[in-house]
Every structure is written in C-alpha cells, then in structure tokens.
Amino acid sequence: MAESDALWQCDPFSWRWLVANQGANTKAGPFKAVAPSPKLTAAEALCARSAQELQGFIASIMNVLLIGSGGREHALAWKIAQSAQCTRLYCAPGNPGMLDMPAVMGGKGLADGPTSFAPVSQIALSEQAEILAFCSEQDIDLVVVGPEQPLVEGLADALRAQGFPVFGHDQAAAELEGSKAFAKDVMAEAGVPTAAYGSFDDPEAAKAFIRQQGAPIVVKADGLAAGKGVVVAESLDQALDAVDRLHKPGETLVVEAFLTGEEASYFVLVDGDEVLAFGSAQDHKRVGEGDTGENTGGMGAYTPAPIVSDAREQAILETIAKPIARTMKARGCPLRGVLFIGLMIDETKAGAEQIQVLEFNVRFGDPECQVLMLRLQSDLLPLLAAVANGKLADAPAPQWRDEAAITVIFANQGYPGSYEKGSTIAGLSDCPALVFHAGTAENEAGQIIATGGRVLAISALSPQLADAQALAYRGCAAIDWPQGFYRRDIAWRALKQPSP
C-alpha cells in the first residue's frame, strides 16, 4: 500500500497504539505504512486521516518522566496518561496506587491503558544524577517535576543544562516558595498586595516585634515546611511560643499581620514571558472541622471556588500574577512552570485591600491538583510542553468541565503531629469515588499500607458540588482503615453548610 494512499480510521489513542507497536525508533524516521490493524474496531473508527497527518502526530508524541510520589503526582499521572501525545509515562518514584488508577479509556489501570506506564521506584527525588541518566537512557522528551523540594534543590537547572525540556522552575525562581522572606521582598518590589511583615534572624527581635504589634498575628518559618510551618496565633503567648517552635539556628522567621476574609487558591502557568490562567480552588488547611486546630498540608479541596468571580480572576491576573512574572524575569530568574497563588479575599473591603497574597508556591497544590485534574476537560500535556519549550503564547487555553470537583483527604491518626506507619488499608476496590494515593506503599503480602500523614485523596466529580461531596464521602465510608480520619465538612463554605 502506498503511503500517500494510506488512510487511518482511528482515534488518537489508537494512533498511539500503532506508534508504540512500530518499535522504539518510530520518532526517528518516517512512519511505516501498514494496513489498518485488526485491533482498530468499528467503535474506534472515529476519524480518517492521511499518512501525512499521521506523520505530524508522530512528531508531537512524547516520552514523559513525572517526578514525585504523592497525591498530586498521582493526579498528574492520571491526566497525562489520557493524552494522545503521551506514548510512555514514567513516574519516579511513583506510588502503588498509580497502577490501579482507572483511566478514562476503558476503565483499566494505567499499566493496561493506551499509555505505556511504569513507576521507577528505585530513583529517589534527590538523586539528580540517576534522574539525568534515566532521561538519557529512556529518550525522555519532557520532565514534569511535581514537588517543590527537587525544584528548590535545582533539579530543573540540571535537566535543562543537559538539554531536557522541563515543566518546573529553576532553583532561583523556586525561592518564591523556598524562602518566605524572599517572596515577601519580591511582592514588595512588584507592588503586589500582601500583609505587612517583618523578617528576623534573631528570635528575640521577632518576639519584640510581636509584642509591639499584638495578636492575632502570623508566624512563619522561612523555608519549606510541607504546609506546617505557619502558626496563626490568636494570642500573644501562642505567637511567642510559635517563635520558639519554628525558629532554627541560622534561619529566618517571617512575622506578618493577620488578614481577615476567605482563603482561595489560584493557579497560572508561566513560560518566562506568558501567563495563562489555570483555575481556582479552595483548600482546607486546618486539621479540624470548622477550620479549627493546627495547620496542615491540606485536608481537602474543591473547584471552582465561588469567591473567585470573573472580575476577581481578572484582578488576580493583572495585579498579582503578571507583575510577579515580570519582576522575576527582571531579576534574572524567570518563572517556568506553575505558580500557585495563595490568596485572602475580604469581601468587606475594596480596591487593593480586597485581594491579598498569603503565599506563593512553585508547584501545583496538593490537594488542589487532584480537583483541577478531575475538572480539566482538555489535554494537559500540550500545555506542560508549551511551558517547558517557551511556547505558551501558541497554546490553547485550558477547557474546563461545567461540573464541580472535590477531594477529601484521608489522613493518619495523629497528623499533623506524629503518627504510626504500616497500618493496612482495605476496601479500596469498593470505593465508588476516585482514589489518589498520597502516602502509601505495598507490603510483601501485596496489601496497601499507610506510610505518610496524608495518605489518600478521595475524589469525585459531579454537575452539582453537593452531589460530588456526597459521592466523595460515600467513598470515604467504603474504605476500611480504622487508623485513618478525615474532615467531614469539606466545601462547607461553598455549600453554606454549618460545620459539624
């Protein structure tokens, strides 16, 4: 059959199957014309395309390496694997839940779906040399860095130096999350609205500032703290105690004014120059119902956040996201990844005081990522690649489902304090909701065990937020894990429900 006469009656997922079955060198040379495969059934014959078009598709396909092992990375893997442009997806180190995650196509696990998937458990997040070697050996076309720690340690710099496209910020840009004092200084330079603050290397100076300002007041450890380095002190004694607990020799503390209002999370993609809106969510930081107790990495989230109206979204882009991107580029450390903007929105105020920045993070939020991926209708992978290659201006805007998504974190008893590891989790196969693994492992008997503080993210999507919430909590009830707990009021603000 002449290649010019070849017509393919298949969808992009079947194209990907054909490409994968042409051998490892498909991308290096012209596609070999073959007769339509018997694997392409009538149900798959969604469109007819010429061999020339197919060749263009081949040029766009990618082998992807995803760095991380938590719930955020599980959700990213779930979404990336649905892309027609992804032939092979590796996750280092990955988690056991990824192999059982139902894919959109066919409801099978990622390992059985249209994308070839493999966790690379032998590579740790901090092993830059091993990651670089793996990228070379496996012909990786795109590296997606999930957590903040590898970015702060310079993994993206090392990869780019070897010519690998990376979705993730360089080390200097990652200081927006790696140092709260740095972030505050950048905000001041960019004219971004944020709480008044002071930075202190001397804990006694921090205490003197606190006594002068009074309570309530917020005390923050300068570096990374997995969401647990912030104390919102309601009394002077609590604030002074927070200084003693959070300060470490040689490190900085940030003390800032207490802001009132409702918290929200907003995300943008940045390729150094262009800024693209990527949606809102609302996290639940406190460990207890009614937003009580200690701060955590997040006990649940939902999207969209009703408080982020269209007008406020535009204000966030124009007064926060774009000025920060310009300022970081002017400083010589352009943003090239996702920027997570933690916001306080006070509807009783007007102007610049209505929307203020609490913090910046240089990665997708966890658990916000889980709900964003559920609600994202369009293909994620081209956007990630556009950021990595500095071509975000040519990328289409993300398309969102007209539905609400929610996730409820199932955590280990004792979190955010000390907790036991190794308890067995059962009933996952009976869960009617999607389960993203965040802190799990598989023991020698093949059982899923808890290894972290935040262990599972029980997630659901529905036209109405109340229905998504109900489905997520049915999912929580189906899981047999006596050592776990979860908040029972996720999305209570949006649903105007009284907290338990």
Q: To which residue do tokens 């009132």 refer?
A: 260
Residue 33: CB atoms within 10 Å: 14
Q: Is the pLDDT of residue 16 over 80?
A: no
Q: To which residue do tokens 């900085």 refer?
A: 252
Range name among 95-104, 120-129, 295-304 with the lowest pLDDT average = 95-104
- Rank 1-10, 88-97, 206-215, 323-332 by mean pLDDT and report only the highest: 323-332
Range name among 48-52, 83-87, 172-176, 211-215 with the lowest pLDDT average = 48-52
Q: Is the pLDDT of residue 432 over 90?
A: yes
Q: In terms of pLDDT, which residue wins out, 228 or 255?
A: 255
pLDDT value of residue 84: 87
Residue-wise pLDDT tens digits, 32-85: 333 334 444 444 444 444 444 544 555 578 999 999 999 999 999 999 988 889
The C-alpha atoms of residue 338 and residue 369 are separated, in whole angstroms, by 11
**Omega before 382 within 30 of 0, i.e. cis:** no
Residue-wise pLDDT tens digits, 374-387: 999 999 999 999 99
Q: Is the pLDDT of residue 28 over 70?
A: no
pLDDT value of residue 42: 45
pLDDT value of residue 498: 60
Mean pLDDT of the 403-420 span: 97
The C-alpha atoms of residue 152 and residue 384 are separated, in whole angstroms, by 19
pLDDT value of residue 115: 59
Fold that domain 403-500 belongs to in CATH: Glycinamide Ribonucleotide Synthetase; Chain A, domain 4 (3.90.600)
Fold that domain 62-170 belongs to in CATH: Rossmann fold (3.40.50)
Residue ranges of the chain assigned to CATH 3.30.1490.20:
196-257
The C-alpha atoms of residue 120 and residue 109 are separated, in whole angstroms, by 17
Tokens matching residue 498: 């009284």
pLDDT value of residue 380: 97
Residue-wise pLDDT tens digits, 296-326: 999 999 999 999 999 999 999 999 999 999 9
Q: In terms of pLDDT, which residue wins out, 302 or 7?
A: 302
Q: Is the pLDDT of residue 123 over 90?
A: no
Residue 9: CB atoms within 10 Å: 14
pLDDT value of residue 350: 81
pLDDT value of residue 448: 96
Question: How high does pLDDT run on average in the chain?
Answer: 86
Nearest to 207 by CA among 244, 172, 173: 244
Q: Which CATH architecture has domain 196-257?
A: 2-Layer Sandwich (3.30)
Phi, psi of 348, rounded to the nearest 5 degrees: -85, -10
* Percent of all residues in the chain with a pLDDT value above 90, rounded to a whole number: 72
Q: Is the pLDDT of residue 114 over 80?
A: no
Q: To which residue do tokens 């070379």 refer?
A: 136
Range name among 69-73, 98-102, 418-422 with the lowest pLDDT average = 98-102
pLDDT value of residue 267: 98
pLDDT value of residue 353: 75
H or E, element range at 130: helix 128-137
HEC profile for 151-162?
HHCCHHHHHHHC
Tokens matching residue 184: 């505050």
Range name among 154-158, 256-260, 479-483 with the lowest pLDDT average = 256-260
Nearest to 367 by CA among 288, 303, 442: 303
Residue ranges of the chain assigned to CATH 3.40.50.20:
62-170
Q: In terms of pLDDT, which residue wins out, 9 or 183?
A: 183
**Omega before 323 within 30 of 0, i.e. cis:** no
Checking DSSP bridges between strand 142-145 and strand 62-68, what pairing results, if any? Answer: parallel
Residue-wise pLDDT tens digits, 215-240: 999 999 888 876 668 888 999 999 99
The C-alpha atoms of residue 183 and residue 131 are separated, in whole angstroms, by 29
Q: Is the pLDDT of residue 18 over 70?
A: no
Residues whose CB is less than 8 angstroms from the CB of residue 319 and which lie 6 or more positions away in sequence, other chains included: 192, 193, 352, 355
Mean pLDDT of the 336-344 span: 97
Q: To which residue do tokens 């192999």 refer?
A: 99
Residue ranges of the chain assigned to CATH 3.90.600.10:
403-500
